[in-house]
Structure 1
Amino acid sequence: MVLALLGTVVLGALAAGTVSGLSLARYEAPGSESDRAQAELAARFGTGSADLVLLVTARSGTVDTPAVAASGRALTARLAAFEGVAETASYWSRGNPVTLRSADGRHALVVARIPGDANRVRSEILPRIIPEVLRGDAATTVRAGGGEEVFRQTVPLARQDFVRAELVVVPLVLVLLWVHLRRVLAAVLPVVLGALAMVAGLALLRIPLLYADLSTFALNLTLAMGLGLGVDYSLFMIARFREEVGLGRDRHEAVARAVERAGRTVIFSGVTVAASLSVLLFMPFDFFRSFAYAGVAVVVGGVVGAVVVLPAILAAVGDRVLSRHPGKAAGGTFWRGLATRVMRRPVVYGGVATAVLLLLGSPFLGLRLGVADDRILPASAPARQTSDVIRAGFPAEETDALQIVSTGAAGAPPEAVPGYAAALSRLPGVAQVDSAAGSYAAGVRISAGDPSRFAGAGGTWLSVVPSAELMEEDPVQLVSDVRALRAPFEVLVGGYPAELADYRQAVIERLPLLLGLILAVTFAVLFVMTGSVLIPLKATVLNLLSLSVMFGALVWVYQDGNLSGLLGFTPTGTLDPSIPILMFCVAYGLSMDYEVFLLSRIKEEYDLTGDTSGAVVAGLQGGAPLITAAGGILAVSFAAYVSAQVVFVQMLGVGMAVAILVDATVIRAILVPAAMRLAGEANWWAPGPLRRLHARIGLSG
């Protein structure tokens, strides 16, 4: 215990520096066409997508009023003078294009490109610029927006979400633990072990921070999972300790037996959860890899706390965690009765439960993938308010233009540019195309534009400005249309919509690998534990069934907008694939967590009796009450995030709470016994070679 205390102090000192090192990664796919286009634009033309957008509003008159125009030009020049700003442009500096002016004439835009990594832009440059440019003057008011400003404002809000949630969840979990365990020390220990898992997880994140950018959402995952796993693992260890004492063993023997049985199960569970999250390392994005590092780190902290620190405490003061009613049967008669009824009519109970879960998961069939924008922020956030005005008042999205840059040794023949620009302007959803040959709309040249803007070190580039309506509906389709249009010279297509399209495509392309790895790893863990081929397959199917309910809830709530008023978010009609993929890995790991705990009890009984039906009933009676209590407490810890202001954090909380509750109740209490009853002795079957393999590497007894 002394060593654990000293270790916690050291880990706490290391963890203290982790939070400031976390950031929000950009939506970009390294090596993609959009990534290469941005590199070409920056190197050859000194330009690129806007990182900062200033919305200038006339206090009176319009943006063409002389005083307002003078103020706008002065603001553009002032912004260009800031260190770190590589390029600026505005409605007034580009010859008053309609794409930078609102329909009512009251607003205009100033845009800036700020090169550099996300941390430098958001932590060093923008904090110096924003307060200075937002002052406005007698003629104008100024608001800030743009992708970098949106994510800069997201980070502190996400941290506030955590603090607010934890202020609620920690005392609530303590109360629930006391209700379940009926001893103060027994209720406090799981929370203490959860805190240790959090601290250890954050401290271990210092290692990947040396060579990778970690997302700020990794903090939320570490803290939510740390508390949850600390509670889960501690509950199982304490319950087994109590059980062994109830069988007549002295304190130290009971601790040893608890570590031998429940501790082994905790290690299996930890390996399963860590393996489920570690597959995210195969995603080519720091955002996903952050969660892999965080998941593995917090599991290590949780497992070490449960199998090293907690046994030491139980050996010293274990009498103070024992039940005040040691003669009372664990779980009473309810779970035994339920298991008996389910196994007497497995088809009826299993069929009804499956039908209900499929119905709840059916909204997932209407999934529409998109990419998150400023609406992950609450309506009160300044960057969100800026974007709302632009979305509602501007006919075109100049700041979200596609950029088409010529490549190849032949360059771009000047005579080929007019026809190509005209053809691009006729594509559905294109408001205007700007090029060295002029500006085009609906196939017609509408102005001479600024040819010097598109001149550089050989070749040329074109700006395809989408309409505001298209950006609301399907910007990815425009990217496909532009890339499908035959170009008269070699080109690369970049810009914000192309970055979104390439990011989404890269994520989707990795999904089969991700699914294959997570299924293979968890299959291997359960095989080593049980020696069965059927049980891991059954566990996989049931876990996917519970996850379908989670995804159905995400689509029904966050895509379709049901309960948006109650939960306080703005639906966009699509789901960003990032958070659902993360939630799949977390929820799948935690589902296997409960599967491991229940199977360990069933396998233990089966090894003693050889009776599958009796083992399932006894395992459910001994394990289901604990799994339900642990699942309920873990669900509460995630559900506390329902009050989050950042939609990503709220989605994580709501989705995980739904998945855990379904898994810890319907799946474990009804579908597991029903499936095992139908399979009978085949539950434990494996082909000869695998049986021999399990005899060498598996665990038994």
Structure 2
Amino acid sequence: MLAGLGRAMYVRRVVVVVVWAAVALAGAVFGGSVYDRTQSIDPLPADAPAAVAQDRLDTLAPEGERLVAVVSGREVGSIELITSVTRIVYEIRAVNGVKEVDDSYTTGNRRISTDQRASLITVELQPALSDDDALRVAGQVSDALRRIDAPEILIGGALLAEQEFNDQAVRDAAVGESVALVCVAVLLIVLLGGLVAGLLPLAAALGAVTATLLTLTGLAGLLPVSEYAVNVVTLLGIGLAVDYSLLMIARFQQERAADPRAPLAELLARTVATAGRAVLVSGSAVAAALAGLLAFADPLLAAMAMGGALVVVLATVAGLTLVPALIAIAHRRLPAPRTRSRGPGLLARLAGFAQRRPRGVALTAAAGLLVLSAPLFFVEFGNSDVRALPTTSESRRTYEATQARFDDPPRQPLTVLVEAAPDAPGMPQLFDTIERMPGVSDVFVRSDLPPGVSIADVVPDGAEDGRPARQLVAGLRALAAPAPVLVAGPAAELTDAGRSVSERLPLALAIVVVATGALLFLLTRSVIVPLKAIAMNVLTLLATLGVLVAVFQWGWGAAVLGFEPWGALDLTTPLLLFVFAFGLSMDYEVFLLARIKEEWDRRTATDAAANDRAVLAGITAAGPVITTAALAIGLVFLGFVLGGLVAVKEIGVGMAVAVLLDVTVVRGLLLPATMSLLGRWNWWRPGRRTPAEPRSLAADRA
């Protein structure tokens, strides 16, 4: 079937390229509008306890968005400052959409910094405002606040921070994509030895990415599309399309070199039949890994899975259709594979070393990966908040100023809701108990509520979603009360997100492991090889996460990467890295194993070294492609390190580390070492009493 597809791409090469060009043009013209249609998606499932509590609060006692302003740079008792703040505050109160304004001069609340040179102003908007209306009113309020006669005015709050997140995500995607494309283009032109050969993989990448953006634009009218899904599209689309293109080009060059008189249609048929099979298996493996995200029932992860799955499918289709068509048109401009006057490539040299000392290399490589994973014992997870914005962000600077300069800065409390009247039996004792609980800084019982409901705001000690606050959530939910105790707030959301991940992780793992294991079994007809591949990919992932803890939680190298650590990893980072790193590791695994299996099938097991020869021959043939692909995709991921969002940097650094470890330690050392140790047992499968003997290609085809 795949050979027939290769011949069809030769016959219809012009039509295929024209269709893809039209799709790319439409995607470039209309697909960009997806950035204007993205939405912020609630990271919690609708049935999470914190989400249920927040929905009930929004019904009973809705609150509007809040803006926080830090007015600083002059003595707070200055007559000029007092006059200016008072005038502007009364002006803001008259703005349609403003519910309440709190300041140090007109409300009697003393909100002065410890150095007496800054004061706080908080503005609450009307709860009924839509998102667009809230942003419009916030703009009016911000304009008024900036007219206060003070040297420095910082304005922030959750609404403005969220808008900055969205804008920064779009900028990060644009910068990362642009830098990645330029760097990858230069790299490919140099390594592939020509302009056409270097730009061909980028043409496939642009086709896959623009087609996905066009599809997401259409889906945005039916389903919520996250701004982070757009980043996922660019990240995966460029990387996978380049990988698949390199594999197809390299195989075509090898087939042409082996049989220079063969018709072009036959060369493309052989190329798609062999490399195309690896592309199809690899794309299916990455898509299966992304499907694992759906098991978490997380709306944000589901949005990312949707965008990622789309680009994987389209990158695979581009690899199987657009790339062969482009090769058919530009085959004369593709140079012959370079002869290696200096001996075998990097992976082949590493593999030869590993095969000479398989036991020592396997133990050392595995131990090294485990050492890199050791920081995971100290990992802290959190939801990205304003601290994940760049240090130049005004919302972040506002937050840091309130936390550093004020004894009692505004903090989002835990909100406790009980469906019982405040004077119901047991309720006064409940509030007394809450006030005495460890980790409670203050308790404010609300009034003016509907009958039969009690609500209290509980201010925790320390960070809003820190470990003490999360422990407090568990204690509050366990309290004896006339009705179940519902708890909302940042710590409650993080607690529920962590519990949801831990509960659903086995199902996600099962989906990914079973699906990829089955695909590798179909590729290799072996049980041992897929199990080893999964185990090695897990080692790579654990080592990568350990490095991320050291870099982003502990701050090792933070100055070089241009960020300030906030003491935790984003909760979604390990999940995204799991599917990305697992999927892309399978990418290289498939490339290698497909070639190793070919070499194994060509041999007869006349001696014990047949397995080692097949492994070394496969790595020697596929190694240059994998090395080039790793360099290219590494540049893609490093392009996203230039972004401002810490969460995006985590993914970029994590994937670059994963690719580096996978291509050197795992593919170059651990894989050949373990295959040498197991010998022909690598190819065992149920139903045989002894290890499977290799068969000839003729027998395979029969």
Number of residues paired by the alignment?
Answer: 671
Separation in 2 of the partners of 1:201 and 1:563?
Answer: 35
Aligned to 1:516: 510
Separation in 2 of the partners of 1:116 and 1:303?
Answer: 46
Which amino acid in the other structure matches residue 269 of structure 1? S
Q: How far apart are residue 384 of structure 1 and its match? A: 0.3
Which amino acid in the other structure matches residue 2 of structure 1? V
Separation in 2 of the partners of 1:333 and 1:414?
Answer: 78
Separation in 2 of the partners of 1:637 and 1:191?
Answer: 12
Contact preservation (8 Å) 2:347, 2:664: no
Match of 2:450 among 436, 456, 467: 456
Separation in 1 of the partners of 2:267 and 2:181?
Answer: 29
Aligned to 1:341: 353
Match of 1:167 among 168, 171, 178: 178
Residues 490, 236 of structure 1: alpha-carbon distance in 2 compared, 3 angstrom cutoff: closer
Match of 1:317 among 330, 335, 338: 330
Separation in 2 of the partners of 1:126 and 1:95?
Answer: 22
Contact preservation (8 Å) 2:247, 2:275: yes
Contact preservation (8 Å) 1:181, 1:323: no
Aligned to 2:567: 573
Moved more, 398-407 or 333-342: 333-342
TM-score, normalised relative to structure 2: 0.88
Separation in 1 of the partners of 2:648 and 2:94?
Answer: 35
Residues 434, 69 of structure 1: alpha-carbon distance in 2 compared, 3 angstrom cutoff: farther
Q: How far apart are residue 503 of structure 1 and its match? A: 2.8
Residues 155, 312 of structure 1: alpha-carbon distance in 2 compared, 3 angstrom cutoff: same
Q: How far apart are residue 192 of structure 1 and its match? A: 1.2
Residues 568, 475 of structure 1: alpha-carbon distance in 2 compared, 3 angstrom cutoff: farther
Contact preservation (8 Å) 1:602, 1:616: yes
Does residue 186 (structure 1) correspond to residue 186 (structure 2)? The answer is no
The Cα offsets for residues 605-646 of structure 1, whole Å up to 9 and x where unpaired, read as: 111214322211110110112111111111111112222211
Aligned to 1:250: 263
Does residue 605 (structure 1) correspond to residue 608 (structure 2)? The answer is no
Aligned to 1:425: 435
Residues 102, 3 of structure 1: alpha-carbon distance in 2 compared, 3 angstrom cutoff: same
Residues 516, 658 of structure 1: alpha-carbon distance in 2 compared, 3 angstrom cutoff: same
What aligned pairs does 1:358-369 form with structure 2 within 5 A after superposition?
Answer: 358-369=370-381
Match of 1:82 among 86, 96, 105: 96
Separation in 2 of the partners of 1:668 and 1:461?
Answer: 57
Q: How far apart are residue 511 of structure 1 and its match? A: 2.0
Which amino acid in the other structure matches residue 316 of structure 1? I
Aligned to 1:288: 301
Q: How far apart are residue 497 of structure 1 and its match? A: 2.9
Aligned to 2:687: 688
Aligned to 2:11: none
Which amino acid in the other structure matches residue 432 of structure 1? D
Separation in 2 of the partners of 1:114 and 1:570?
Answer: 34
Separation in 2 of the partners of 1:139 and 1:339?
Answer: 67
Moved more, 422-431 or 569-578: 422-431
Contact preservation (8 Å) 2:370, 2:539: yes
Aligned to 2:9: none
Q: How far apart are residue 61 of structure 1 and its match? A: 4.7
Moved more, 246-255 or 669-678: 246-255
Match of 2:69 among 41, 55, 60: 55
Q: How far apart are residue 267 of structure 1 and its match? A: 1.0
Residues 97, 39 of structure 1: alpha-carbon distance in 2 compared, 3 angstrom cutoff: farther
Does residue 300 (structure 1) correspond to residue 313 (structure 2)? The answer is yes
Separation in 2 of the partners of 1:664 and 1:111?
Answer: 53
Moved more, 29-38 or 470-479: 470-479
Separation in 2 of the partners of 1:286 and 1:406?
Answer: 27
The Cα offsets for residues 639-680 of structure 1, whole Å up to 9 and x where unpaired, read as: 122222111111111110000111112111111111111122
Q: How far apart are residue 331 of structure 1 and its match? A: 7.3
Residues 285, 10 of structure 1: alpha-carbon distance in 2 compared, 3 angstrom cutoff: same
Contact preservation (8 Å) 2:626, 2:663: yes
Contact preservation (8 Å) 2:427, 2:481: no
The Cα offsets for residues 36-58 of structure 1, whole Å up to 9 and x where unpaired, read as: 222222322x334x632322436
Which amino acid in the other structure matches residue 75 of structure 1? V
Structure 1 unaligned segments of length 5 or more: list them.
437-452
Which amino acid in the other structure matches residue 464 of structure 1? V
Contact preservation (8 Å) 2:345, 2:623: no
Moved more, 110-119 or 366-375: 110-119
Aligned to 1:445: none
Q: How far apart are residue 602 of structure 1 and its match? A: 0.6
What aligned pairs does 1:483-632 form with structure 2 within 5 A after superposition?
Answer: 483-487=477-481, 489-610=483-604, 611-632=610-631
Q: How far apart are residue 465 of structure 1 and its match? A: 2.0
Contact preservation (8 Å) 1:88, 1:111: yes
Match of 2:364 among 345, 352, 361: 352
Residues 431, 91 of structure 1: alpha-carbon distance in 2 compared, 3 angstrom cutoff: farther
Match of 1:383 among 395, 401, 410: 395
Moved more, 494-503 or 358-367: 494-503
Contact preservation (8 Å) 1:29, 1:284: yes
Does residue 216 (structure 1) correspond to residue 230 (structure 2)? The answer is no
Q: How far apart are residue 470 of structure 1 and its match? A: 6.7
Residues 66, 415 of structure 1: alpha-carbon distance in 2 compared, 3 angstrom cutoff: farther
Separation in 2 of the partners of 1:331 and 1:263?
Answer: 28
Does residue 176 (structure 1) correspond to residue 178 (structure 2)? The answer is no
Aligned to 2:7: none
Separation in 2 of the partners of 1:388 and 1:316?
Answer: 58
Residues 31, 567 of structure 1: alpha-carbon distance in 2 compared, 3 angstrom cutoff: same
Moved more, 583-592 or 131-140: 131-140
Residues 330, 52 of structure 1: alpha-carbon distance in 2 compared, 3 angstrom cutoff: farther
Separation in 1 of the partners of 2:255 and 2:348?
Answer: 20
The Cα offsets for residues 538-584 of structure 1, whole Å up to 9 and x where unpaired, read as: 00010111112210111000011111222222212222211221111
Contact preservation (8 Å) 1:376, 1:646: yes
Does residue 658 (structure 1) correspond to residue 657 (structure 2)? The answer is yes
* Secondary structure in structure 1 of the residue aligned to 2:208: helix
Residues 57, 414 of structure 1: alpha-carbon distance in 2 compared, 3 angstrom cutoff: farther
* Secondary structure in structure 1 of the residue aligned to 2:630: helix
Separation in 2 of the partners of 1:64 and 1:486?
Answer: 51
Residues 596, 286 of structure 1: alpha-carbon distance in 2 compared, 3 angstrom cutoff: same
What RMSD in Å do the two structures reach over aligned CA positions?
A: 3.2
Contact preservation (8 Å) 2:553, 2:569: yes
TM-score, normalised relative to structure 1: 0.88
Q: Percent identity?
A: 32
